[in-house]
Amino acid sequence: MSEMKQDSENAAVSPERRRFISAATATAAGLTIAPGVMLYEVAHGRPEEQAASSAVRWGMMVDATKCATGCDDCVTACSTENGWTPVAESKHPKQAPQWIRKLVLQDPLTQMETNLPMLCQHCAEPPCVDVCPTGASFKRADGLVLVNRHTCIGCRYCMMACPYKARSLVHESLNDTQKPDVPRGIGTVESCTFCVQKIDRGDGTTACVEACTASGHNALVFGDMNDPESEISKKLRELPTKQVRADLNLNLGVRYHGI
Amino acid sequence: MASITFREVEGSSPKFWMLFGALGLFVLFGALAWNTMHHYGHVVTGMDNQIVWGLPHVFAVFLIVAASGALNVASIASVFNKPMYKPLAPLSAILALALMLGGLLVLVLDLGRSDRLIVAMTHFNFKSMFTWNVFLYSGFFVLVGVYLWTMMDRTVKTYSKAAGTAAFIWRLTLTTGTGSLFGFLIARELYGTAMLAPMFIIMSFAYGLAIYLMVLAASYAWTGRTLGDAVMMRLKTLLVVFVAAVLYFVVVQHLTNLYFAKYHAVEAFILRDGGIFTVLFWVGHIALGCVAPLVILLSRLGKQRTWIMIACALVIIGGLAQMYVTIIGAQAFPLDMFPGMNVKSSFFDGEVHSYTPSVPEIFLGLGGVAIALLVTTFAVKVLRLLPVTLDDETVAKLEH
């Protein structure tokens, strides 16, 4: 627990400091005689005893202009990867958890429709972490906003605080679809983890992004926003993007193009 | 200054035991309701991922707010040195403790994992208003407990004023904390305002005093002791001030919101189009909870005890309606993530969320009320909390 707290404190650095740390890390990497070793480490996930690093900030870019009407491959992939029952199959659809969902926006004036997935935005300043009484909601150093299922007491204050309605409470006993690397439990709160289990394995991507790419839509890009050479950083430099409810100044890990 | 004799109520009549048994029955129902919710999960409640805090929170927050207000009478006696209120103080303190206990029990038994209460007591995040409230609630029990002790034990009587002042400051901080549970939320339009802290304080004054007056009158009427008009009229006038202040805060809050275009939709929802929430706001909170009690208490009706009791009951009903609108109404209105756009999803985005409390939720909430009243009933039987008489003559002597 104290390690997690330390991680979230480490992560609360200013953009300047973060840039400095990134630059310093990059320089150090350049000076290291075996940069190949470091790349190998990243590609194969970090060892268990090594803490997540704030040199990395995982993020996602959603290109809403490519997000297809009627397609919910990202939602299905998330449910399969993380073991939550799809809403359509749930006996209690109103109370069923949804880690990611498709939104259809319509401009009432022009009738133009926009499709996009909505999920935990992995804020740099997450309101859910601020309000959590036990510290079960926490932000990992690499930007992932997660819930420690062992210390979540199910008070739902984070759900009151989230401006994106990204979180769900597990309302009933879980069936046997649970995945061994995705702990879940009745009475606790959960949300998108950016497939933390995949990241820690070194996959470097999430189930929803893989599904979107496989379907040929390519509306989702995932990667390290701190690495200027990553695909996501390049895309974010190229395309104008927006943060949902940018007025709240939460510095989101999910950026949308075409909204 | 004349001295006042405090004595336990006898509490041996069948009527007393019937009251005790009836309250106990509701406590039992509350326990069964918790057991059901804990066993099956929140799937048996009307709550979902849109309305995450339901009826139990309405009862819990109401009781916690009222608890802090119930201490008011004691505060007036020791902090503001009004001798007339001195004999009324012990009941005020015990009622505050009892209501706090009832409210907290409902709050913790509605947790998704109420079995993990120990986690909440051992893991803290000091940026969370909830964490601060854990300390404020615990401190309240300690301070009010000590204060009650200084009032009842002659050997420590000299510390009464100090203890009373500490409890008074603490209770103001506590209600600030309760209001800030909502005031510190950025996501929803109706929250996220400093207004909620002082508004909750003034609401606590009104709800707490209304409950206090009803409990006081009932204890005297049912034990055949004399409760003079002097006490009733004084407390009644105080209630008028508090209820008027509640009305003032509510008007200012909504007028301010109405001036801001970004709040027009949510204000239209609460004030005009919100169905049950609009009805509860106008009929429950404003008409029954504020206007009617003011009319009763300020008119000639306010001289009759029955009407004072009716006014108190209306303030309590209005308070519950206000909590329902404040807590559930604010969640029922959809989050505005994409201003100006119509939104649709499988997660009920862009629609007004419906909520129907289930039977376990109702009984869990009522169980909290029953615990509070049961504790009070038991306390007046075993402790010397109530003066033998509060007739006008005795009370008049106190002031000279």
Q: What is the DSSP letter of B301?
A: G
Map residue A255 onto helix, strand or coil: strand
Residue B127 to residue A130, Cβ atoms within 8 A: yes
Q: Say which residues have a Cβ less than 8 Å from residue A117's Cβ, sequence separation at least 6.
A: A62, A67, A74, A75, A100, A101, A102, A103, A208, A220
Task: Say yes or no to pLDDT of A22 above 70.
Answer: no
Least confident piece of the model among A36-50, A61-75, A141-155, B116-130: A36-50
Residue B341 to residue A108, Cβ atoms within 8 A: yes
Least confident piece of the model among A48-57, A248-257, B333-342: A48-57
Q: Where are the alpha helices (DSSP H) in B110-195?
A: 117-122, 129-152, 160-183
Burial of A89 by CB count in 10 Å (0-12 exposed, 13-18 middle, 19+ buried)? Answer: exposed
Selected residue of B335, B345, B351 to mutate for chain A interface (largest A Cβ count, 10 A): B345
Quickly tell me which residue has 């404003």 as its tokens: B286
Residue B134 to residue A133, Cβ atoms within 8 A: yes
Q: Say which residues have a Cβ less than 8 Å from residue A223's Cβ, sequence separation at least 6.
A: A58, A59, A204, A205, A230, A231, A232, A233
Taking CA–CA distances from A153, the nearest residue in chain B reads B113
Task: Say yes or no to pLDDT of A13 above 60.
Answer: no
**pLDDT tens figures, B58-115:** 999 999 999 999 999 999 998 898 988 999 999 999 999 999 999 999 999 999 999 9
Residue B111 with chain A: CB contacts under 8 Å: 153-155, 187
Q: Kindly calculate the radius of gyration of chain A based on its CA atoms and give it in whole angstroms.
A: 18
Which string of DSSP letters, residue by residue, matches B191-213? S--TTHHHHHHHHHHHHHHHHHH
What pLDDT is attached to residue B4? 84
Residue A162 with chain B: CB contacts under 8 Å: 187
CB-nearest to B113 from A94, A107, A153 is A153
For the ranges A171-180, B6-15, B342-351, the one whose mean pLDDT is highest: B342-351
Q: What is the mean pLDDT of chain A?
A: 88
Mean pLDDT confidence for A4-22: 55
For chain B, domain boundaries: 6-398
Q: Which CATH class is domain B6-398?
A: mainly alpha
User: Could you tell me the pLDDT band of residue B267, with boundaries at 50, 70 and 90?
Assistant: very high
B36: contact with A, CB 8 A cutoff: no
What pLDDT is attached to residue A3? 46
Residue B52 to residue A127, Cβ atoms within 8 A: no
- Please give, rounded to a whole number of angstroms, the shortest distance from the CA of A101 to a CA of chain B: 7
B121: contact with A, CB 8 A cutoff: no
Confirm if B2 and B397 have CB atoms less than 8 A apart: yes
% residues pLDDT > 90 (chain B): 90
Q: What is the DSSP letter of A200?
A: H
Residue A103 to residue B49, Cβ atoms within 8 A: no
User: Could you tell me the pLDDT band of residue A44, with boundaries at 50, 70 and 90?
Assistant: low
Taking CA–CA distances from A137, the nearest residue in chain B reads B125
Cβ neighbours around B381 below 10 Å, total: 15
CA dist B333 and B330 (Å) reads 6
- The CATH number that domain A2-257 falls under is 3.30.70.20
ipTM more than 0.85? yes
